[in-house]
Amino acid sequence: MPPMNRRTFIGTSIAATLATAAKPSWGADTHHIDRVGLQLYTVRDAMKTDFEGTIAKVAATGYKEVEFAGYFDHSPKDVRATLDKNGLASPSCHVDYDVVEKKWPETLEAAKIVGHSYVICPWIDEKQRAEPGGWRRAADLFNRAGEASKKAGIQFGYHNHSFEFDPAQSLGGKLPYDFLLDETDPKLVKMEMDLCWISVAGKDPLAYFAKYPGRFPLVHVKDWVKDASTPSAYQGAMGQSVKFGGRMADVGQGSIDWKNLFAHSAQAGIKHYFVENDYPKSAFDDIKISYDYLHTLQF
């Protein structure tokens, strides 16, 4: 997500139901996703004006899991009641880096109360990334946060954009994503791989699945159409290495080979699949198109 928009909607409290794993269902020759999830940032405009109604529409579309990026002034108890009413689980949510750094104990306490399984940090500020020790500081914080969350029975994780795949001068030319993977404890820090942003960066998710098996229990699922005539609305997320324009698309309507990617879900360790579109044309129409594609996809 673009940073300035996303951070507006990420709250400091977290709420979720007990997690239900979205493991692929194994058949004789093929498998599919049992529980398709949605990152609710996709429907954030509707959430602002009709929180309960939006959750109900998401459930009616067929989604079984949701991931929050803000709770729109609703208490954890009220959010949990809305989820329960609609038969939804919320295995994870996103919270700001500042929350991880400064409000982690109370965040974990809230997570324990509601039974959250994952808390994900989705962004590292540009200023910190430019500092000589910025990435190291992030890795150290993530390890500490992961250790504290593990004691609370919760898994900490980090969500990527494309900029983590720009070689960093401060890391001797190493990719920051590789640095975070190598410098954080695999038991304490998992990754929620955004399969669109890594693809936009020109990197192969399968190579990461092979090198870091089991490290990616959650993924963001959104498609991409490369289009030189489209001005980039995502430069903050794309980083410096991505020179072309393009736009997000509903899942199955772009260039990403989902069948091939998800054929490696077991190696990656994927348990939860969250559809996301940062700038949907028509949010509820778009989430239905993506749901219908993923619900019927065999791999």
Give the per-residue pLDDT at 21.
Answer: 42
Q: How far apart are CA 285 and CA 299, in angstroms?
A: 25
Query: Is the per-residue pLDDT at 4 higher than 70?
Result: no
Q: Is the pLDDT of residue 41 over 60?
A: yes
Q: Is the pLDDT of residue 17 over 50?
A: no
Do the Cβ atoms of 284 and 43 come closer than 8 Å? yes
Q: Is 239 left (phi over 0), alpha (psi -120 to 50) or beta?
A: left
Q: What is the pLDDT of residue 11?
A: 47
Question: What is the spatial distance between Cα 126 and Cα 74, in angstroms, rounded to a whole number?
Answer: 30
- pTM score, whole prediction: 0.90
Indicate whether 181 pLDDT > 90: yes
H or E element at residue 38: strand 36-39
DSSP state of 213: T
The CATH fold assigned to 3-296 is TIM Barrel (3.20.20)
User: pLDDT digit string (tens) for 100-157?
Assistant: 999 999 999 887 776 779 999 999 999 999 999 999 999 999 999 999 999 999 999 9
pLDDT tens per residue, range 226-237: 887 776 678 889
What's the pLDDT at 229?
75
Q: Which structure tokens are listed for 296?
A: 């019927």
* Tens digit of each residue's pLDDT (9 = 90 or more) over 51-93: 999 999 999 999 999 999 989 999 989 999 999 999 999 999 9
* pLDDT at residue 178 is higher than 80: yes
* Six token digits for residue 115: 């039974």
Rounded to an integer, what distance in angstroms lies between the CA atom of residue 280 and that of residue 5? 14
Angle at 125 between CA 176 and CA 240, to 5 degrees: 55
Is 250's pLDDT higher than 90?
yes
3-state secondary structure of 281: coil
Which tops the pLDDT comparison, 166 or 26?
Answer: 166
Beta strand pairing call for 118-121 and 89-94: parallel
Instruction: For residue 248, name the pLDDT band (cuts at 50, 70, 90).
Output: very high
Q: What value does the mean pLDDT of the chain take?
A: 90
